Structure 1
Amino acid sequence: MTDNAFRRDVHGNGEIDLIEVLQGLWMQRWLIVLVVVLTAACAAGYAFLSKPVYESRTCFLPPSLSSIAGFNLGRRGGELEPFTVSGVYAVFTRNLQAEESTRRFFKTVYLPSLSEEDRQGSRDRLYAQFRKAFSIKAPDKIQPDRYLLVVQSHDPVLTVEWAKRYIDDVSEQSRDEVLENARREIEVIGTGLQQQIKSLRLAAKARREDRINQLKESLKVA
Structure 2
Amino acid sequence: MNAISSPIQQTPSDEIDLIALFHSLWEQKLLIALVTMLVGMMAAAYAFLATPEYQVQSILRPAAIKDLDALNRTGVYELTPAQAMQRVGAVLESYGSRLEFFRANQSLFEALRQPNRSLEQTFESFNQEAFKMLQPDPKKTDSLGAYVGIQLTYPNNVDGVAFANGLVEFALQSERERISSDLQTLIQNRLNQLESKMAAARANYGASKEAKIATLLEADSLKRAELQDELKALRQQLKTRRDNRITQLDEAIRIAKALNISKPTTPSALGEGERVAQGSVIRTEVNNQQIPLYFMGSEALEAERNALLQRRSDDFTEPRIAQIAKELQLLTHNRQIEVLNQRENEDLFLKDLAIWREEAARLRNLSFDVADLKLASIDQVAVDPLRPIKPKKALILALGLVLGGMLGLFIALLRNLLRRNSRANNLAI
* TM-score category (smaller protein): 0.7 to 0.9
- The 8 Å contact of residues 77 and 183 in structure 2, kept in 1 or not, is answered as no
Change (3 A) 1:54 1:147: same
Matched residues, percent identical?
20
In structure 2, the partner of 1:92 is 88
- Aligned to 1:169, the other structure's residue is in SS state helix
Corresponding position of 2:113: 118
CA distance in 1 between partners of 2:161 and 2:16 (Å)? 60
Distance 2:127 2:35 in 1: 39
Kindly indicate whether the alpha-carbon contact (under 8 Å) linking 1:54 and 1:156 is maintained by their aligned counterparts in 2.
no
**What's the counterpart of residue 127 of structure 1?**
123
| The 10-residue stretch of structure 1 (53-62 or 117-126) with the greater mean CA deviation from structure 2 | 117-126
Please tell me whether Structure 1 or Structure 2 has the larger radius of gyration of its CA atoms: 2
What's the CA shift for 1:25? 1.1
- Structure 1 residues not aligned, in runs of 5+: none
Residue aligning to 2:162: 161
Counterparts in 2 of 1:200 and 1:137: CA distance versus 1, 3 Å: same
Shift of 1:67: 2.8
Residue 103 of structure 1 is matched in structure 2 by 99
CA-to-partner distance for each residue in 1:158-215, whole Å, 9 max, x for gaps? Answer: 1110001111111111111122222222222211111222233344455666777859
> 1:220 and 2:216 equivalent?
no
Mark the CA change 1:86 to 1:146 in structure 2 (over 3 Å): closer, same or farther: closer
Q: Offset of 1:114 from its aligned partner?
A: 1.6
Tell me the matched-pair count: 211
Partner of 2:195: 194
1:20 to 2:46 alignment: no
Q: Are the equivalent residues in 1 in contact too, given 2:134–2:150 (CA < 8 A)?
A: no
Larger mean Cα displacement after TM superposition, 37-46 or 164-173: 37-46
Of 100-109 and 138-147, more deviation after overlay is shown by: 138-147
Say if 1:60 and 1:147, in contact at 8 Å, map to a contact too. yes
Please tell me the root mean square deviation across aligned C-alpha atoms, in Å: 3.4
Task: Give 2:189's aligned amino acid.
Answer: V
Matches within 5 A, 1:38-117: 38-75=38-75, 80=76, 82-110=78-106, 113-115=109-111
Extract unaligned runs of 5+ from structure 2. Answer: 1-5, 221-329, 335-429
d(CA) in 1 for partners of 2:53 and 2:8? 57
With 165-174 and 136-145 compared, the bigger mean Cα shift is at 136-145
The change in CA–CA distance for 1:145 and 1:34 in structure 2 (over 3 A counts) is same
Deviation at 1:24, TM superposition (A): 0.5
Report the TM-score, using the length of structure 2 for normalisation: 0.43
Q: Kindly tell me: are residues 89 and 10 of structure 1, through their superposed partners in 2, closer, same or farther at Cα, counting changes over 3 Å? A: same
